Amino acid sequence: MSAAKKINFLHLSTLIAVAILVGTEMVGASWAAGWALGGLLQLEPMVSHILEVTFALCGFVLLFYFMRLAVKHESIRE
């Protein structure tokens, strides 16, 4: 059996910082886009909230795929 690989804490801290920074930007911008479209199109408040949540979920999905790619390139294990 091969020995378990050690965790590289420098890479781990970099990935956590990237997740916080990019996640805040991506989800925040998505949420703001839903809010802006709701206001621009003068939609009902409930429809506007649904649009905001839908866009925010899209932001989370984009963040998931971004982090998956980031972990692939910046390996946590040595």
Q: What confidence score (pLDDT) does residue 60 get? A: 96
Q: Are 22 and 63 in contact (CB under 8 A)?
A: yes
Whether residue 65 lies inside any domain: the answer is: yes
Whether residue 21 lies inside any domain: the answer is: no
Whether residue 67 lies inside any domain: the answer is: yes
Model confidence, pTM: 0.83
Whether residue 62 lies inside any domain: the answer is: yes
Whether residue 42 lies inside any domain: the answer is: yes
State the DSSP string of 28-66: HHHHHHHHHHHHHTT--HHHHHHHHHHHHHHHHHHHHHH
How many domains are contained in the chain? Answer: 1
- pLDDT tens column, 3-58: 688 989 999 999 999 999 999 999 999 999 999 999 999 999 999 999 999 999 99
Whether residue 36 lies inside any domain: the answer is: yes
Residue range(s) defining the domain that contains residue 35:
27-78
Contact partners, residue 37, CB within 8 Å, separation at least 6: 43, 51
Q: What are phi and psi of 7, to 5 degrees?
A: -85, 130
